[in-house]
Amino acid sequence: HAQAMMDLGSLICRRSKPNCEACPVADDCQALQRNAIAKFPERKQVKQREDELWVMLQLVNANEETLFIKRPSPGIWGGLYSPPIGLSLTQLAAEIVGNEQIETEYAGAINHTFSHFRVRIEHYVASVNAADVRVGEWCRTERFQKGVPAPIQHILSREEIK
């Protein structure tokens, strides 16, 4: 029954050029009785996309290697690697380095659109002692061979620090 109603709507009861004469339920159609067929079917409301702000903290050691962390599965970019990404720079620094007061340098930002929201990723760089970090893998960005999300590759490839 549900499929038949969807077929009826897509073939006969269309927003542009409805075919009321061929409609098997025209006798019960309230839009036709009220002479309001142009108002139905109603247009779908476009969902407003949410905008988010993420920060990416590129930690660089004395060998000019960047820290890459495997992203959790499930989740956005699950199983791929990236520098630490979060909602707060101080929170990331505290979680990864154990010091929320590390000196960072703003290195730019990009906007990226997912299917259901947009995100602005702000990129910060900080030099750290590798011994202070107990998670992830250190590697020069141009040599890292594991999967990295395309927007993150774009951010990292345009930077001076490799």
Residue 18 pLDDT > 80:
yes
Residue 16 pLDDT > 80:
no
DSSP string, the chain: -HHHHHHHHHHTS-SSS--GGG-TTGGG-HHHHTT-GGG-SPPPPPPPPEEEEEEEEEEE-TTSPEEEEEPPSSSTTTT-EES-EES-HHHHHHHHTS-TT---EEEEEEEEE-SSEEEEEEEEEEE--GGG--SSEEE-GGG--S---HHHHHHHHTSS--
The model's pLDDT over 87-136, given as tens digits with 9 standing for 90+, comes to: 999 999 999 998 878 999 999 999 999 988 999 999 999 999 999 998 99
Top-level class of domain 50-157: alpha beta
Angle at 133 between CA 129 and CA 139, to 5 degrees: 75
Mean pLDDT in residue range 136-143: 95
- CATH 3.90.79.10 maps onto the chain at 50-157
| 59 — pLDDT class (breaks 50, 70, 90) | very high
More confident position, 66 or 10: 66
| 161 — pLDDT class (breaks 50, 70, 90) | very low
More confident position, 21 or 122: 122
Residue 159 pLDDT > 70:
no
- Give me the pLDDT at residue 45, please: 77
